Amino acid sequence: MIEINDGLIPFIIDGVKSRQESYGLLIVSKRTPILNLNEDSTVLWTAIDGVKKIHEIVTCMNDGIDSAEDAEQNRKVIMEFYKSCYELGLIDFK
C-alpha cells in the first residue's frame, strides 16, 4: 500500500475509461462497477493528467479560498478522493 502525499503524480490506469453524460461523468473499469462522479469529483478526476503533482492540483483547487482552515479541509478532501481512486484500482502514482 502506498502512502499518498502531495508530491505524488496521479495517473489513470490503462483500461479505465470515462465518458461525460448529462447526469455526470461515468468511470468504467474491469475492476469496479460503473461509477458516476458528481460535479466536484469530476473536476478532480479531469485534473489527473499524469504530469501534475497532487500539490499542484490542490493549489489550483484552493485558488480563491481565503481561509487557511478551508484550504486545509479542501486539501484533505482531495487527498481522500485520490486515495479512494487508488484503492479502487482506477489510478496509480509516479
Give residue-wise pLDDT tens across range 21-38. Answer: 998 999 999 988 999 999
pTM of the model: 0.94
> From start to end of 7-94, where are the E strands?
10-12, 17-21, 24-28, 35-37, 91-93
For residue 83, which of 11, 3, 13 has the smallest C-alpha distance? 3
- Residue that is written with C-alpha cell 447526469 in the block: 23
pLDDT tens digit string along 41-91? 999 999 999 999 999 999 999 999 999 999 999 999 999 999 999 999 999
